[in-house]
Amino acid sequence: MTDQNKRGLARNTPGYGDPEFAAYLRRTFYKSMGYSGAMLDKPVIGIVDTGSAFNNCHRTAPELIKAVERGVLSAGGLPMPFPTVSLCEPSLFPTSMHFRNLAALDTETMLAAQPMDAAVMIGGCDKTVPAQLMGAASSDVPSIQVVTGPMLATPFQGERLAACTDCRRYWAAYRAGKVTAERIGEIEGRLASTAGTCGVMGTASTMACISEALGFMPAGHSSIPAVHADRLRAAEEVGTLVMRFVENPIRPSQLITEHSVENALRVLLALGGSTNAMIHLTAIAGRRGIKIDLHRVNELSDTTPVLVDLKPTGEGYMEDFHSAGGMPALLWELRDLLHHDCIDVTGQTLGERLREPAFVDRRYIRAFAEPVSPVGGLVALFGTLAPRGALLKRSAATPTLFETEARCLVFDGPADLAARIDDPALDVEATDILILKNAGPLTPAGMPEAGYLPIPTKLGRAGVKDMVRISDCRMSGTAFGTIVLHVTPEAAAGGPLGLAESGDRIRLSVEHRSIDLLVDPAELERRRQSWSPPTVPARGWDRIIHDQVLQADEGCDLRVLRAEGP
Ligand code: FES
């Protein structure tokens, strides 16, 4: 019997060449933590702790860990919390995306190296949920995910506010001179007033729903508000449930399949979910050798209605989605489009879960026959500007801009954008297309959420609310506008975006799924002769990213961490 097939603390002993001594030594040291011999004989459940003073979205991690521990202890196990990298969206320079793969590698490595029979992963903020799923997928340690849950919206002077669609809405109004500095300061204290992740269908909420769609948590767990007592009961339930994995493991490789990934894509589209989720789901699937084809995404998008009416595209907040029935209600509405053979961490198939109709409040989760939109929220575009694809969240865009041909104004990178966007002398008109290049995954900027280029102040003050904006970076899942993202290949990888110049004409056609740079190929070739790739970072994580990171259509994972295809 190898170490890996043993139970509890007898697993994964250090390589001293004497496994019995290694196990003896381990128990000796663990006894220094005050455990009895009887406790050290129990099955071990690792609990991934991503609590951090730098992560407001994970403020409740300590009480969630306690609740999971209760469940594990009551079912006869030994809970062992351990820290991993914690990523919070507003806390990280240059951007949390730059570190998602670091968190995934940390999670994968610690799940695999430490002695545990199964794991519970506590995550929540945008990049932690996919990072944990990527790590679980690669380690294949039986794992259940507990998300911290969304914050509650705060009633404020006749409306409700929650991060971060409302943050952007008010900031745009402030930039346009419609909100005073005093009022924007007052609102700052109202936008995120409880614990939890952003309260709209942004990336964190979308990824929580995708985790549930993939089967990594029991039905209904993804949307329980962070501060609700049910959130703690759910964590306790997971602590009990995960103990079943000791005798009957359900591994990530059983959860992440071609069928479950397609179900998750349907869910993403029906949610009107975050564009970031496309990158993350591609990376998660890639860890099991499953490729997401953007042409197939378009087919799914054309046959999947948007059913969920939440901000940033609609009206509700995550607490409304939860009380409207959450994921069980959404899956019930989508049942005819889904693969029913997929299992979740309870061992049930989706077909078994969908035998009975779920409660649904139609204000926030529409009937399949009466959707918010008859087609899905996302559409992939291809053309001479993006040969390997780009993404548009059409559910958050302005339909009158779907068919646009116009001249473009190009910003060479985030610094150039910041320096010039508010210049009163900027040569820009409301009908122009704004382009930001050199902000993709290969760049020092790290693919930030800068794709939501601000409307130039002089146009914003004139009442312009939306323009076509194109970039090789991402946008927040809480943002909105006619914004083309993830242009692939990115400018820094030699993509055509890097050759675009101000004054060039661009044609966007949502109808034809196309995005084209209308410049003569000979002229582009001339420009290519004077193009040079970005500087190579000298060392460290930036160097690893530079050498290893893949493009958006491959999930921006590190090449060395992907699975070989089947
Ligand atoms: Fe963490 Fe929005 S900042 S979910």
- Quick check: CB of 87 below 6 Å from ligand 1? no
Is there a contact between 412 and 387 (Cβ–Cβ < 8 Å)? Answer: no
Residue 88 CB less than 6 A away from ligand 1 = yes
Q: What is the DSSP string of 187-250?
A: HHTTSS-SSSB-SSSSHHHHHHHHHHHHTSS-TT-TT--TTSHHHHHHHHHHHHHHTHHHHS--
Percentage of the chain beyond pLDDT 70 is 99
DSSP character string of 374-423: SS-SEEEEBSSS-TTEEEEEGGGS-GGGSEEEEEEEEESSHHHHHHHTT-
The pTM assigned to this predicted structure is 0.96
Q: Is 192 in the pocket of ligand 1 (CB under 6 A)?
A: no
- Is any ligand 1 atom within 6 A of the Cβ of residue 490? no
Distance CA 482, CA 467 (A): 6
pLDDT beyond 50 at 521 = yes
Q: Which residues contact 453 (CB under 8 A, 6 or more apart)?
A: 411, 417, 421, 434, 436, 469, 471, 483
Distance 187 CA to ligand 1 centre (A): 18
CA of 89 to the centre of ligand 1 (A): 6
CA distances from 341 to 214, 255, 338, 347, 407 (A): 12, 11, 9, 11, 49
Residue 43: cis peptide before it, omega within 30 degrees of 0 = no
Tokens of 278: 């496309």
Six token digits for residue 116? 């545990």
Of the pLDDT bands very low, low, confident and very high (cuts 50, 70, 90), residue 480 is confident
Residue 203 CA, closest ligand 1 atom number: 4
Helices 203-214 & 258-271 angle (0-180, nearest 10): 140
Q: What amino acid occupies position 40?
A: L
261, 133 contact by CB (below 8 A): no
pLDDT of 564:
67
Give the long-range contacts of residues 523-529, CB within 8 A, separation 24 or more. Answer: 524/496, 524/499, 527/499, 527/501, 528/494, 528/499
* Mean pLDDT computed over 360-379: 95
- Torsion angles phi and psi, residue 188, rounded to 5: -50, -35
140-144 average pLDDT score: 98
pLDDT confidence of residue 291? 97
Joined tokens for residue 93: 């320079």
Please tell me the predicted confidence (pLDDT) of residue 127: 97
What lies within 8 Å, CB to CB, of 74 at 6+ separation is 239, 240
pLDDT at 172: 87
- Decide if pLDDT at 48 tops 50: yes
Residues in the chain: 566
| Total Cβ atoms within 10 A of residue 144 | 28
User: With a 6 A CB cut-off, is 201 part of the ligand 1 pocket?
Assistant: no
Q: d(Cα 389, Cα 383) in Å, to the nearest integer?
A: 7
DSSP state of 553: G
Count the Cβ atoms, other than its own, within 10 Å of residue 346.
16
Lowest mean pLDDT among 235-239, 309-313, 323-327, 439-443: 309-313
How far does the centroid of ligand 1 lie from the alpha carbon of residue 35, in Å? 37
- Give the pair of three-digit tokens for residue 106: 């940390």
The span from the CA of 538 to the CA of 310, in Å, is 44
**By C-alpha distance, which of 120, 356, 336, 363 is closest to 221?**
120
Pocket test for ligand 1, best of 125, 274, 317 (most atoms within 8 A of CB): 125
Q: What was the pLDDT predicted at 2?
A: 59
Q: Would you state the pLDDT for residue 565?
A: 44
89 Cα nearest atom in ligand 1 = 3
Which parts of 40-192 are beta strand (E)? Answer: 44-49, 78-83, 118-123, 143-147, 154-156, 159-161
Quickly list DSSP for 146-181. EE--BPPPEEETTEEE-TTHHHHHHHHHHHTTSS-H
Nearest-atom number in ligand 1 for the CA of 126 is: 4
pLDDT in tens, 67-108: 999 999 999 999 999 999 999 999 999 999 999 999 999 999
- Ramachandran quadrant class, 111 (left: phi over 0; alpha: psi -120 to 50; beta: rest): alpha
- Check if 197 has its Cβ closer than 6 Å to any atom of ligand 1: yes
Pull the structure tokens for residue 294: 């953007």
206-220, 226-240, 302-316: lowest mean pLDDT where?
302-316
Distance 448 CA to ligand 1 centre (A): 14
User: Counting atoms of ligand 1 from 1, which one is nearest the CA of 164?
Assistant: 2
**Tens of pLDDT, residues 225-271:** 999 999 999 999 999 999 999 999 999 999 999 999 999 999 999 99
* Average pLDDT score, the chain: 95
**Which residue has its alpha carbon closest to ligand 1 atom 3?**
89
pLDDT of residue 395: 87
Residue 204 CB–ligand 1 contact under 6 Å: yes
The pair of three-digit structure tokens given for residue 129, joined into one six-digit string: 């949920």
125 CA → ligand 1 middle, Å: 5
Task: For ligand 1, atom 2, name the residue with the nearest CA.
Answer: 198
How many angstroms separate the alpha carbon of residue 476 from the centre of ligand 1? 10
Please indicate whether residue 162, judged by its CB atom, sits closer than 6 Å to ligand 1: no
- By the 8 A CB rule, do 433 and 467 touch? yes
Mutation probe of ligand 1 site: the residue of 197, 200, 274, 276 with most atoms within 8 A of C-beta: 197
Within 10 A of 51 (CB to CB), how many other CB atoms are there? 18
**How close is the Cα of 265 to the center of ligand 1, in Å?**
22
Atom of ligand 1 nearest to the CA of 478: 2
126 ligand 1 Cβ < 6 A: yes
Query: 125 CB under 6 A from ligand 1?
Result: yes
Shortest-distance Cα residue to atom 1 of ligand 1: 125
Give the position of tokens 């959130």: 231
- CB hemisphere CA count around 4 (13 angstroms): 6
pLDDT at 164: 86
Determine the distance separating the centroid of ligand 1 and the alpha carbon of 539, expressed in angstroms.
Answer: 29
